[in-house]
């Protein structure tokens, strides 16, 4: 409970003045970088004070100067704040539409070009999300996606959604498989309780869509890479 309160209080303490100053700045100037960088700093600070340690490796595998698609397994609501500060450069992400309706936070995510998705959305909505993500990549901004589409209840890899692989094949953007574990012991699905601990993040070498005949082969290659960095019991 102490970790939960510490995280919440720290984020609120810094986020309110940051939102009041940097959201108007982003709207007026069109420059989202200050808002993005301060948000990353707030998350890092809140995690450190709450006793959440993040260890990452393999960032040297991310190609310099290229917009990439980071494909990650999903265990906990703690995953996005643990992961995004570790990604070199700026990234947008797919996010549930309901989260992007939260006042201030949702607006900031829209300014940062996060892409709303409906978990049970129609084919048309999925196509719109992929098109929006393509436009973000064309601006040189990374895309981050949790390829299972939802958090795993028991930590084991779930089936992957097809949308990110449509995007990868259409754009040719390098796919960076990312293995994430440790957060499953700190905040379980459907729980608000947070426990201190260590999140482990592994960036694998890029996988290039053009090297695969179809989306299925690309998906299997990405899944194998992600699984290789997870504890054996999580590999599914």
Q: Reply yes or no on whether the pLDDT at 123 is more than 70.
A: yes
CB 32 within 8 A of CB 179: no
Query: Is residue 154, in this structure, part of any structural domain at all?
Result: yes
Of 71-75, 124-128, 221-225, the one with minimum mean pLDDT is 124-128
Entry pTM: 0.93
Q: Minimal CA–CA distance to 193: which of 42, 78, 41?
A: 78
Query: Is residue 6, in this structure, part of any structural domain at all?
Result: no
What residue numbers bound the domain in which 176 lies?
A: 54-234
Query: Is residue 131, in this structure, part of any structural domain at all?
Result: yes
Count of the separate structural domains present in the chain: 1
Instruction: Give me the pLDDT at residue 128, please.
Output: 86
What's the average model confidence in pLDDT over 89-99? 89
Give the CATH number, domain containing residue 87. Answer: 3.40.1130.10
CB 154 within 8 A of CB 104: no
Q: Reply yes or no on whether the pLDDT at 145 is more than 90.
A: yes
Query: Is residue 166, in this structure, part of any structural domain at all?
Result: yes
**All residues at 6 or more sequence positions from 206 whose CB lies less than 8 Å from its CB, including other chains:** 61, 62, 63, 68, 174, 175, 176
Instruction: Give me the pLDDT at residue 119, please.
Output: 67
């Amino acid at each position: 409970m102490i970790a939960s309160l510490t995280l919440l209080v720290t984020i609120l303490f810094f986020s309110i003045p940051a939102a009041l100053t940097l959201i108007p700045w982003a709207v007026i100037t069109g420059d989202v970088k200050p808002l993005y960088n301060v948000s990353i700093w707030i998350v890092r600070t809140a995690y450190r004070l709450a006793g959440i340690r993040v260890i990452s490796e393999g960032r040297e595998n991310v190609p310099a100067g290229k917009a990439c698609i980071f494909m990650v397994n999903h265990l906990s609501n703690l995953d996005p704040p643990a992961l995004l500060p570790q990604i070199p450069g700026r990234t947008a992400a797919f996010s549930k539409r309901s989260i992007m309706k939260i006042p201030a936070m949702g607006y900031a995510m829209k300014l940062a070009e996060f892409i709303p998705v409906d978990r049970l959305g129609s084919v048309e909505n999925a196509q719109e999300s992929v098109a929006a993500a393509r436009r973000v990549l064309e601006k040189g901004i990374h895309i981050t996606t949790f390829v299972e589409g939802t958090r795993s209840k028991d930590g084991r890899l779930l089936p992957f959604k097809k949308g990110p692989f449509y995007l990868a094949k259409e754009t040719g953007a390098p796919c960076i498989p990312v293995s994430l574990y440790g957060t499953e012991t700190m905040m379980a699905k459907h729980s608000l309780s947070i426990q201190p601990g260590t999140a482990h993040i592994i960036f694998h070498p890029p996988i290039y869509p053009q090297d695969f005949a179809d989306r299925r082969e690309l998906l299997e290659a990405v899944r194998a890479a992600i699984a290789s960095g997870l504890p054996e019991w999580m590999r599914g």
